[in-house]
Structure 1
Amino acid sequence: MSDDYQRRSYGAIPVGTGQKPGVVVVDFQLGFTDAQYPLGGAPLVMRALENTARLLEVARRHGVPVAVCNTAYLNEREMPYWKITAVRETFLHSHPSTRLDPRIHDPAYDLQVTKKGPSIFFETGVANYFTKERVDTVIVTGCNTSGCIRGTALDSFSLRYRTLVPEDCVGDIEEQPHRDNLRDIGRRYVDVVDLAFCTDFIERWARRNSG
């Protein structure tokens, strides 16, 4: 963080962890994780996929609520005004690229939603699910950092959740926007952490509630 931001108190107060975690998994659909598709296979996204799978194994084992999403539309008329050709042409319900990657999706456990905008919380019911489950701390994973992760993190903040973004569980097409956006949301809205921090938080929460 630059000295000027520090002098103006940005990032001075950590978000911290609350009483119960929940995990959101944003857009790990084949369109982003399979290199045969135009947006698929970016190295940072694949690293995030692997680390998120590790996080989810721990989360599910301890009964942590998990919500996963894809982005898909009936047709182009239903879409917002996307500026990305590949989204307009392939993010359709009928297209195989919208299927969730099986490495991060457990249909028997996860709440699965299809979102229409950047944030997993926008008009999806995920916040209602977390309210029922008494989640107060949201761990944000998925892709892309500069788009739907940032949008999800801002909504999580606005919904008054403590919000954690593990750097190694989110990814983008290029490293610079990945780093820039994590820096910016870390100054204002979230704690930027890592996989180890999140698994430790979940393990501590599980031990505290085991009795």
Structure 2
Amino acid sequence: MIDFARAYFDHGSPLYAGVEATRDAAALVLASARAHGIPVFHTRVEYQPGGADGGVFYRKIAALKLFDAGSPMGDFEPPLEPAPGEAVITKQYPSAFFGTDLAMRLNSAGIDTLVMCGLSTSGCVRASAVDAICHGFVPVIVREGVGDRLPAVHEASLFDLAAKTAELRSLAEITNYFEGLAA
């Protein structure tokens, strides 16, 4: 699962995170998944203009207006755009599972393990990993492929996720894992 919006990479954005190395690592994971025929699911955040479908979450975080329909800040960050045929899950809340058909799509495809890259570790990654395990999936987080605006928050979130919810793996471990699945 890949979750990267332009808003986190544009220096003028209030959500700018300074995690270009994370984007680059995720691009390597994505290229490896594609090369080995691993199904890819992208997530994106999009709201009706004004956030009528965003509830308290939208009202609490003013910067979420960047994800109103039609805003270029909600576009996928290059080079992480979906390829033809790859699933795109549109969400309004941190978890890729909440209010979406992601669990059904994964079950229908016979997928039991979810390799995750995205932003932010303390928000969408964490919420999606918690919901993944609650739905019976094994969440695997690519350490180099996730990031947050503050390094201390990122590291604390990874520590907590590893202790309770997800498996943490390196970029090299994941590319080797994909190679083994394709064999």
Matches of 1:187 and 1:48, distance apart in 2: 22
Cα distance in 2, alignment partners of residues 35 and 129 from structure 1? 35
Q: Alignment partner of 1:169: what SS?
A: strand
Q: Is structure 2 residue 8 aligned with structure 1 residue 32?
A: yes
The structure with more radius of gyration: 1
How many residues of Structure 1 are paired with residues of Structure 2 in the alignment?
A: 180
CA distance in 1, matches of 2:118, 2:82: 15
Instruction: Report what 1:17 is aligned to.
Output: none
**Structure-1 residue corresponding to 2:114:** 138
Map of 2:69 onto structure 1: 93
| Residues 1:76 and 2:29 aligned together | no
> Residue 184 in 1 paired to residue 160 in 2?
yes
| 1:156 aligns to 2:114 (yes or no) | no
| One of 141, 166, 180 as aligned partner of 1:204 | 180
Q: Which amino acid aligns with 2:63?
A: A
CA contact (8 A) 1:67 1:110 kept: yes
For residues 113 and 88 of structure 2, what CA distance do their matches in structure 1 show? Answer: 19
- TM-score computed with the length of structure 2 as normaliser: 0.93
User: Which position in structure 2 is the counterpart of 1:46?
Assistant: 20
Tell me how far apart the structure 1 counterparts of residues 82 and 44 of structure 2 sit (CA, whole Å): 14
Q: SS of 2:43's equivalent? A: strand
Say whether the 8 Å CA contact 1:144–1:172 is kept in structure 2: yes
Q: Distance in 2 between matches of 1:57 and 1:64?
A: 10
Cα separation, 2, equivalents of 1:124 and 1:64: 21
User: Does the Cα contact within 8 Å between 2:126 and 2:161 map onto a contact in 1?
Assistant: yes
TM-score (norm 1): 0.81
CA distance in 2, matches of 1:32, 1:125: 25
Percent of matched pairs sharing the same residue: 28
Match of 1:65 in 2: 39
Q: Kindly indicate whether residue 114 of structure 2 is the aligned counterpart of residue 120 of structure 1.
A: no
Equivalents in 2 of 1:93, 1:146: separation in Å? 24
* AA aligned opposite 1:136: D
RMSD: 1.3
SS in 1 for 2:52: helix
